Amino acid sequence: MSKTPDDKVTEPAALVLQKTTPVVGPVRTFRDKVYTSRTLILPGGASLPVAKGRVTAVDDQQFQYLNTHPDFERLTE
């Protein structure tokens, strides 16, 4: 059984990780104006916990959801 080029690792591990690991942007915190504790279910099915009236967006999808939802107010840091 011979190996095809697809079976070989041709790039250093750092480059592979760079291509496959999502880049996390800055953490952005929001205040929940309605609840102090709840779990949000985002349109894609991911969950986002609210604790002590605060919720943190760590990616663009979470940020977009929280930034456009009327129950949340972005906190400046």
Tens of pLDDT, residue by residue over 42-51, are 998 999 999 9
Q: How far is CA 43 from CA 10, 40, 62, 65, 69, in A?
A: 37, 10, 10, 9, 12
The answer to whether position 9 is within a domain reads no
The answer to whether position 33 is within a domain reads yes
The answer to whether position 60 is within a domain reads yes
CB atoms within 10 A of CB 63: 18
Domain range enclosing 54 = 24-77
pLDDT at 58: 92
The answer to whether position 16 is within a domain reads no
The answer to whether position 8 is within a domain reads no
Mean model confidence pLDDT for the chain: 79
The answer to whether position 3 is within a domain reads no
Q: How many domains, in total, are found in the chain?
A: 1
The answer to whether position 50 is within a domain reads yes
The answer to whether position 7 is within a domain reads no
- Per-residue pLDDT tens digits for 8-28: 545 454 444 444 445 556 789
